[in-house]
Amino acid sequence: MRISAILCPILLAGSLIAETTATTSNVSDALHVLNLVTQKYADAKSLHIEATQEVTHSTELSRGWSKMILAISVAPDNRYRYEGRGPLGAALVLSDGKTVWTYRYDENVFTEKPVEPEKPNLPAIMGTEEDGVRSAKGLRSSLAHLGERLNSAQLLPEETLAINGTERRCIGVHYGSADLKKRDVQEPEGVPREVQEEGTYWIDKDRMVIVRIERRINTVVTRPGATASTSSQDEIVTIFPVVELNPSLPDSTFVFSPPAQAKLVGEFPTQK
């Protein structure tokens, strides 16, 4: 009985994928598969995820590109390791359950503070150097709640994707603007804004984890008195070459060893 209870969700997910790959218009199955996958991230007692995120921002007269490299390890007893590198700097936040260290790579300085029981998850971070760390910390929550953004979605046929040089059999859960739940976002007064979004969550069919996310956001803004609207496009691609849910992480993962010449400071300098 216990074995059947464990295998049931796995068999259900496999059968749903097999059936809905052939009938990609089945909206309810698309959301069900996505929710089965994202629930694994919410339920994991420990995890290790590595990701790269590339953002391309384009307008009629400009084009910009940026990249962040993220890593997250989480274990019971309030142990965590968040690491991020991006255009504005690189930083690490690490806790062994009793002490939390925040290290800025470029400045080679770090802080050391006791974990606060009422705020055990992450110290207050204000510097732009920690933008990558903030993104790393948000990975688990964002992956666990992907389905909550959607009223509907469509399953795409199976496709083989190269993820960091390794071929993965994947299915895609695709959505457009019409599939998104309405958000209560207050627009700037007198500045009409039209946003169109579409995206695809690519799921490794064998491991039932997300290995690639593609999003495209088109924004058109009409400012008061303007003779024409301005438009911009953001393309965001996030790849997950490493996804380990419920791994046995070694204690060394949560040990902070300051690099040579690193300086301990009480607080980081206030940014101007």
Rounded CA-CA distance 215/25 in Å is: 20
Strand order across the beta sheet in which 79-86 lies: 154-163, 166-175, 193-204, 209-221, 230-245, 47-59, 63-75, 79-86, 89-96, 99-104, 109-114, 263-264
* pLDDT given at position 26: 54
Residue 64: beta bridge partners?
A: 57
Which residue, among 132, 99, 134, 117, has the nearest Cα to 255 in the 3D structure?
A: 99
Mind giving me the DSSP string for 219-251?
A: EEE--TT-SS-EEEEEEEEEEEEEEEES----G
Share above pLDDT 90 across residues of the chain, in percent, rounded to a whole number? 69
* pLDDT given at position 246: 98
Q: How far is CA 167 from CA 90, 118, 162, 171, in A?
A: 30, 44, 4, 13
What pLDDT digit, counting tens, does each position of 154-177 carry? 999 999 999 999 999 999 999 999
How do the pLDDT tens digits run along the chain, 272 residues long? 444 444 444 444 555 454 444 443 456 689 999 999 999 999 999 999 999 999 999 998 999 999 999 999 999 999 999 999 999 899 999 999 999 999 999 999 999 999 887 555 555 555 677 888 999 999 999 999 999 999 999 999 999 999 999 999 999 999 999 999 976 455 556 667 789 999 999 999 999 999 999 999 999 988 777 778 889 999 999 999 999 999 999 999 999 999 989 999 998 876 54
Rounded CA-CA distance 29/78 in Å is: 36
* pLDDT given at position 223: 79
